[in-house]
Chain A
Amino acid sequence: MSHPILQAEDVTKTFDGFRAINALNFYLFPGELRTVIGPNGAGKSTFFDLLTGRAKPDKGSVRFASADEAPSIDLTALNEYEIQRLGIGRKFQTPSVFAEHTVFTNLVLSLNGPRGVFASLFHRLDSTARDRLDALLKLVRLDDKRHWKAGLLSHGEKQWLEIGMLLASEPRVLLVDEPAAGMTDEETHRTGELLLSLAGKHSIVVVEHDMSFVKQISINGQVTVLHQGSVLCEGKFDDVQSNQKVREVYLGRGKH
């Protein structure tokens, strides 16, 4: 068995006495598409914060493997942009695109490459970059809106643009927070297909509420259920769905 690319062990994070994450263990393997579900307040967003440097755990380790070896890079010692440069990209729950910039420029700013002040001053787009941008625009179906201000896009299109921005940076791990929120059923389905097609090349964690969407994207992968900051259970979608504890957690609080 190969090594995990991302691992969190015995992680605890407390906010004002509230344990958002409680002795959490999580292992993501290369190429995997993992879906994380859980009722509101289960700690899903905090979990992403801990993986991306936004928050630091009180206890436990968060590690990343840059090559095919046991994960050795301590993510808790790095900040947001350093973690991004390692190849961990994050899509936020509410789509965060640059509203005043064109779709095209949004992608240009996200392209993988030097991130320093002077590199940005003297940056020029070469033809490989242009080809890549064209391909990305087609992939996220925004080719005909490349000159639109991103703020004018529909909610679903913004979600797609942000996914495109993530891909532009060529990450090894994608952390995707509620990609289907605000999408029509058809858009949701297409998003699922896109994510499935990216698995293998990228390692992906998707946090999601929409159960039919979860079912669609977890067809080959595992589902992790978070509850009160810990993993309640992990397994195939059908097993998780029929798990008695999971049913109690969800039904006890009402669906969603």
Chain B
Amino acid sequence: MSSTASSRVPDVEPRFFTRAQWASFIIPTLILAVLLPVFNAVLPPDHLLHPSTFTLNLYGKYATYAVLALGVDLLWGYLGILSLGQSLFFALGGYAFGMHLLLMIGKDGQYKSDLPDYMVFLGYKALPAHWEPFYSFGFAAFAVMAVPALLAFVFGWLAFRSRIKGVYLSILTQALTYAAALLFFRNDFGFGGNNGFTDFKRVLGADLNSVETRRSLYIASVLLLAGVFLLYRWLTRAKFGHLMQAIRDGENRVLFSGYATARYKLFVFVLVAAITGVAGALYVPQVGIINPSEMTAEKSIEAVVWVAVGGRGTLLGPILGALFVNALKSWATRAAPELWLYFLGGLFVTVVLFLPGGLISLPAKFRSIWAKFRSKAPASDSSAIGH
């Protein structure tokens, strides 16, 4: 496309990718979703290229985190809404799917009852009526999106219609997730209290502890991440995406240009909640537990840190940030568990102060330093124009 000799920049960017970008999207996706599982299945465990099932499991978990981070970034980096409650939607998706997984244990629980263990323990006589539909995988899959979406719709409708913005909105989202966590911590709310749901045995008839199931869950997580990346890419490249950023930079002008900005915000907020719910649903069978600590404000803020570290306002940045910070966490919580939070805080401050564009901006930063180093002359104006 750019090979036509002239330096004319097209007015409108391609909907998804240029050809080179397609390649750099498809190749990593194939490596992660096909090659690694094949190596895991075919190569002997002591082979250099054999990824252990534990590793796949870990990557699968990271992939669901990355989907959570992408949602945070779509809201924060593109739309200008810093939501400190995204882990709530993640956890709600997890709980909705957890209900199904719990029912699928059948009589294999501690008490050999049709009821989930914690219900037996708390003296339930029968399954509450709202649990019945969760025997169906289809219904659970629907609820995984619908429950977070419904909550996001009600909250967003009230907040955006009242034109609550900025730090006030952030505080409200934090209050929402805090209230929800308190509610879920209560035994009499009926979702297992602080223990939550655990001891899952099978999904769609397959043993959750088998290598095949774990591999499949990993593949599903990677494909979810790839799909969500494509969807958000399309969204941000459409006129809709330009409007999101325009709302971020100057909502007034958008409003006075005839757009009902509250509806735009509500649409993104609800969409992201539903997708984050799916990520939460895939997270739960891979870690084997869901409890209210997953929906605390701290978890949401952690996701915000991933986005800030990786690079806000880009789609690759949040993925990078989620991987990097969580890999660091895996290592640091083993090496020096009591120091991890200081580490995380220090990382956040460092990035905000010295690398506001996040890790994703490092190559450009190095390039500009290199350019300065080579031609001591200051960068010419033309570099700013084409961008």
A contact residues vs B (CB 8 Å cutoff)? 52, 80-81, 84-85, 89-90, 92, 96-101, 104-105, 108-110, 115-117, 120-123, 125, 130, 133, 146-149, 152, 165, 169
B contact residues vs A (CB 8 Å cutoff)? 9, 11-12, 235, 238-240, 242-243, 245-246, 249-250, 252-261, 263-264, 267, 384-387
Cβ-defined partner of B9 (8 Å) among A92, A125, A147, A169: A147
- Verify A81–B253 contact, CB threshold 8 A: no
- Verify B258–A100 contact, CB threshold 8 A: no
Interchain CA distance A100-B80 in the complex, whole Å = 13
Given contacts A96-B250, A109-B242, A117-B240, contact A148 B256 (CB under 8 A): no
Chain A residues in 8 Å Cβ range of B256: 52, 80-81, 84, 89-90, 92
For this complex, 10 residue pairs linking A to B, each with C-beta atoms less than 8 Å apart, are A81-B255, A100-B245, A109-B243, A115-B260, A117-B240, A121-B239, A121-B240, A130-B11, A146-B11, A149-B387
Chain B residues in 8 Å Cβ range of A130: 11
Chain B residues in 8 Å Cβ range of A125: 11-12
Chain A residues in 8 Å Cβ range of B255: 80-81
- Verify B245–A101 contact, CB threshold 8 A: yes
Chain B residues in 8 Å Cβ range of A169: 257-258
- Verify A99–B240 contact, CB threshold 8 A: no
Interchain CA distance A109-B251 in the complex, whole Å = 13
- Verify A84–B245 contact, CB threshold 8 A: no
Interchain CA distance A99-B252 in the complex, whole Å = 13
- Verify B238–A98 contact, CB threshold 8 A: no
- Verify B243–A120 contact, CB threshold 8 A: yes
- Verify B252–A109 contact, CB threshold 8 A: no
With contacts A81-B258, A90-B256, A152-B385 known, what are 19 further pairs, Cβ within 8 A?
A81-B255, A81-B257, A81-B259, A89-B256, A96-B252, A97-B250, A100-B249, A108-B242, A109-B246, A109-B254, A117-B240, A120-B239, A120-B240, A123-B239, A125-B11, A133-B11, A146-B11, A147-B386, A169-B257
CB distance from B185 to the nearest CB of A (A): 37
Chain B residues in 8 Å Cβ range of A147: 9, 11, 385-386
- Verify B258–A84 contact, CB threshold 8 A: yes
Interchain CA distance A133-B11 in the complex, whole Å = 11
Interchain CA distance A214-B263 in the complex, whole Å = 40
- Verify B9–A115 contact, CB threshold 8 A: no
Interchain CA distance A83-B90 in the complex, whole Å = 39
Interchain CA distance A130-B11 in the complex, whole Å = 10
- Verify B263–A84 contact, CB threshold 8 A: no
Chain B residues in 8 Å Cβ range of A97: 250, 253
Interchain CA distance A115-B240 in the complex, whole Å = 10
Chain A residues in 8 Å Cβ range of B9: 147
Cβ-defined partner of A84 (8 Å) among B238, B242, B250, B257: B257
CB distance from A178 to the nearest CB of B (A): 16
Q: Which residue of B lies closest to A130 (CB)?
A: B11
Number of A-B contacts (CB under 8 A): 87
Chain A residues in 8 Å Cβ range of B252: 92, 96
Chain A residues in 8 Å Cβ range of B253: 92, 96-98
Interchain CA distance A148-B11 in the complex, whole Å = 11
Chain B residues in 8 Å Cβ range of A152: 384-385
Interchain CA distance A96-B251 in the complex, whole Å = 10
Interchain CA distance A133-B384 in the complex, whole Å = 23
Chain A residues in 8 Å Cβ range of B11: 104, 125, 130, 133, 146-147
- Verify A98–B250 contact, CB threshold 8 A: yes
Chain B residues in 8 Å Cβ range of A89: 256
Chain B residues in 8 Å Cβ range of A84: 256-258
- Verify A98–B246 contact, CB threshold 8 A: yes
Q: Which residue of A lies closest to B257 (CB)?
A: A110
CB distance from B312 to the nearest CB of A (A): 13
Among all A-B residue pairs, the 10 with the closest Cβ atoms: A84-B258, A123-B239, A120-B240, A96-B253, A98-B246, A80-B255, A121-B240, A120-B239, A147-B9, A115-B258
CB distance from B60 to the nearest CB of A (A): 30
Given contacts A110-B257, A115-B258, contact A101 B246 (CB under 8 A): yes
Chain B residues in 8 Å Cβ range of A105: 242
Chain A residues in 8 Å Cβ range of B384: 149, 152
CB distance from B13 to the nearest CB of A (A): 10
- Verify B238–A122 contact, CB threshold 8 A: yes
- Verify B250–A117 contact, CB threshold 8 A: no
Chain A residues in 8 Å Cβ range of B387: 149
Interchain CA distance A89-B256 in the complex, whole Å = 7
- Verify B385–A85 contact, CB threshold 8 A: no
Q: Which residue of A lies closest to B255 (CB)?
A: A80
Chain B residues in 8 Å Cβ range of A148: 385
Of A115, A133, A165, the most chain B CB neighbours within 10 A belong to: A115
Of B12, B249, B257, the most chain A CB neighbours within 10 A belong to: B257
Interchain CA distance A1-B263 in the complex, whole Å = 42
- Verify B242–A101 contact, CB threshold 8 A: yes
Interchain CA distance A104-B9 in the complex, whole Å = 11
Chain B residues in 8 Å Cβ range of A133: 11
Interchain CA distance A152-B11 in the complex, whole Å = 18
Q: Which residue of B lies closest to A120 (CB)?
A: B240
Interchain CA distance A149-B9 in the complex, whole Å = 13
CB distance from A113 to the nearest CB of B (A): 9
Q: Which residue of B lies closest to A110 (CB)?
A: B257
Q: Which residue of B lies closest to A171 (CB)?
A: B258
Chain A residues in 8 Å Cβ range of B267: 117
Interchain CA distance A90-B254 in the complex, whole Å = 11
CB distance from B9 to the nearest CB of A (A): 5
- Verify B263–A165 contact, CB threshold 8 A: no
CB distance from A231 to the nearest CB of B (A): 25
Chain B residues in 8 Å Cβ range of A85: 258
Chain B residues in 8 Å Cβ range of A101: 242, 245-246, 249
Q: Which residue of A lies closest to B11 (CB)?
A: A104
Chain A residues in 8 Å Cβ range of B386: 147
